[in-house]
Amino acid sequence: MTLSPVWHPFTQHALEPAMKRIARTEGAYLYDEQGHAILDAISSWWVITHGHRHPLIMAAIRNACETYDQIIFAEYTHEPAEELARGLVAIAPTGLDHVFYSDSGSTCVEVALKMALGFFHNSGAPRSRIAVMEHGYHGDTVGTMSAGERGVFNAAYEPMLFGVDRLPFPEPGHEQDTLDAFETFCRSGQVAALLIEPLVLGAGGMRMYPASLLTELKAVATRHGSLMIADEVMTGWGRTGSLFACEQANIRPDILCTSKGLTGGSLPLAATLCSAEIFDAHLSTDRSRTLFHSSSYTANPIACAAALANLAAWKTEPVMTRIRALEAKHRIRLERFRRDPRFGNVRQTGTIVALDVNVPASGYLSDAGPKLRAFFRERNLLIRPLGNVIYLMTPYCVTTDDLDRSYDAIDEAADIFVGDR
């Protein structure tokens, strides 16, 4: 077989087998060239919400292709972007009145950081610090790596990164430590914003914390005049049991970042929503106060059309009913592991479930990760553990049989790998 020239993401090619080629997708499944149906139990890195190739979204893409390709968004606008912005403002927490488009989760968080720093700079009282939560992950661009957890992911790039104020993760019973740390940082008067993944830290190990803590963190930020940036790239679009995770804390962030499920997972698109106050701080006859950010494919019309169809699906289909049913199915199936000594920290927020396999070496580089992934691959299950942390984040169309097969495979894997220690 000819060696592929493709360099895949988060892949050590010296250790991985040749990549399996996918021939088509449908519903909760990927189909390889041999015709095997592979259950996409992680929604292809958390982007697929309703299911692969949702008919409404696919039709919108085909229709948009008859009219549009890319249009320079610094010079012109177009109806898909205008209508989508109105739709996003309508469903987002009240007071997020402006929408800035980009094309990935990383870039929409970069935009948010620049908005926050620009807000204080243009207000004549510059602030230079960003507060983040320990174990957080916000992307792989320079700004988002700086804000994320430091370690093997970014050690080689340390000279490029800037410092941030890092809050301890709110372990159960130690939530006050997190609040006290944020209060201390804010007293410096230099914290421009708290950047946070609401309720669930994704790539940091599917770590979960209560909505009440998010409410209290927002209160601290407000008291000190700091902004809150909600990184809802993963947690948005129903994953945590509400359209946006912030709703469960009854807060309105000053800036909200969304991507992944924005188009139902069909095309890359991202949006950063902000308050009128932040927009107005950049609004001036002085061109130096402009928000200097763009990409060549900002507000791609075809991607915007896909996102509009996603909004239509949320309005016309019983999406929340599916989510509630999926939550309940997970809750029932997780019970078998809650007092199982092979597992620890069995947890669930909305449709996201995770559990730690009790092996000697934990963390992202645990040898258990590649072994577990290969085990699931052999069973035609796309389950990609974060080291020794197994998680499921399926499309909402997943069936009861699909879930049973996934949980049975997790049970079998633990028998093999925990017993093998």
Closest CA to 113 of 26, 230, 198: 230
Asked if 268 contacts 103 with a C-beta cutoff of 8 angstroms, the reply is yes
The stretch 94-116 carries a mean pLDDT of: 98
**What is the percent of the chain where pLDDT is above 70?**
99
C-alpha to C-alpha distance for 180 and 174, rounded to whole angstroms: 10
Collapsed DSSP state (helix, strand, coil) of residue 399: coil
Q: Residue 333 is part of a domain; what is its CATH number? A: 3.90.1150.10
Judgement on whether residues 127 and 101 belong to the same structural domain of the protein: yes
The stretch 322-349 carries a mean pLDDT of: 97
Question: 29: which strand partners?
Answer: 26, 39
Judgement on whether residues 66 and 113 belong to the same structural domain of the protein: yes
The stretch 106-122 carries a mean pLDDT of: 98
* Cα pseudo-dihedral 110, 116, 118, 123, rounded to 10: 180
**Residue-range definition of the domain harbouring residue 349:** 319-419
Domain count, the chain: 2
Residue 421 banded pLDDT, cuts 50, 70, 90: very low
Judgement on whether residues 275 and 341 belong to the same structural domain of the protein: no
pLDDT of residue 420 exceeding 60: no
C-alpha to C-alpha distance for 247 and 35, rounded to whole angstroms: 42
What is the DSSP-derived secondary structure letter of residue 299? Answer: T
The stretch 132-139 carries a mean pLDDT of: 97
Query: What is the predicted pLDDT for the residue at 21?
Result: 96
Question: Which residue among 275, 291, 316 closes a domain?
Answer: 316
Asked if 284 contacts 304 with a C-beta cutoff of 8 angstroms, the reply is no
Q: Residue 221 is part of a domain; what is its CATH number? A: 3.40.640.10
The burial class, CB within 10 Å (0-12 / 13-18 / 19+), for 243 is buried
Judgement on whether residues 334 and 233 belong to the same structural domain of the protein: no
Residue 31 lies inside a defined structural domain of this protein: no
Residue 368 lies inside a defined structural domain of this protein: yes
Residue 19 lies inside a defined structural domain of this protein: no
Judgement on whether residues 251 and 357 belong to the same structural domain of the protein: no
Collapsed DSSP state (helix, strand, coil) of residue 302: helix
* Cα pseudo-dihedral 258, 259, 264, 268, rounded to 10: 150
Q: Give tens-digit pLDDT for 371-382.
A: 999 999 999 999
Residue 29 lies inside a defined structural domain of this protein: no
Question: Which residue among 252, 283, 316 closes a domain?
Answer: 316
Judgement on whether residues 242 and 342 belong to the same structural domain of the protein: no
The stretch 348-365 carries a mean pLDDT of: 92
Judgement on whether residues 347 and 382 belong to the same structural domain of the protein: yes
Q: Give tens-digit pLDDT for 251-293.
A: 999 999 999 999 999 999 999 999 999 999 999 999 999 999 9
pLDDT of residue 1 exceeding 60: no
Sign of the Cα pseudo-torsion (171, 176, 179, 183, in order): negative
What is the DSSP-derived secondary structure letter of residue 202? Answer: T
Residue 397 lies inside a defined structural domain of this protein: yes
Query: What is the predicted pLDDT for the residue at 365?
Result: 81
pTM of the complete model: 0.97
Residue 81 lies inside a defined structural domain of this protein: yes
Residue 47 lies inside a defined structural domain of this protein: no
The stretch 229-249 carries a mean pLDDT of: 98
Residue 52 banded pLDDT, cuts 50, 70, 90: very high
Question: Which residue among 282, 316, 350 closes a domain?
Answer: 316
The stretch 42-56 carries a mean pLDDT of: 98
Judgement on whether residues 290 and 359 belong to the same structural domain of the protein: no
Judgement on whether residues 66 and 199 belong to the same structural domain of the protein: yes
Question: 354: which strand partners?
Answer: 347, 391
Judgement on whether residues 88 and 157 belong to the same structural domain of the protein: yes
Collapsed DSSP state (helix, strand, coil) of residue 227: strand
Judgement on whether residues 255 and 375 belong to the same structural domain of the protein: no
Asked if 215 contacts 230 with a C-beta cutoff of 8 angstroms, the reply is no
Residue 419 banded pLDDT, cuts 50, 70, 90: low
pLDDT of residue 342 exceeding 90: yes
Which residues make Cβ contacts (< 8 Å) with residue 324, sequence separation at least 6? 241
pLDDT of residue 135 exceeding 70: yes
pLDDT of residue 366 exceeding 90: no
Collapsed DSSP state (helix, strand, coil) of residue 316: helix
Residue 301 lies inside a defined structural domain of this protein: yes
Judgement on whether residues 272 and 352 belong to the same structural domain of the protein: no
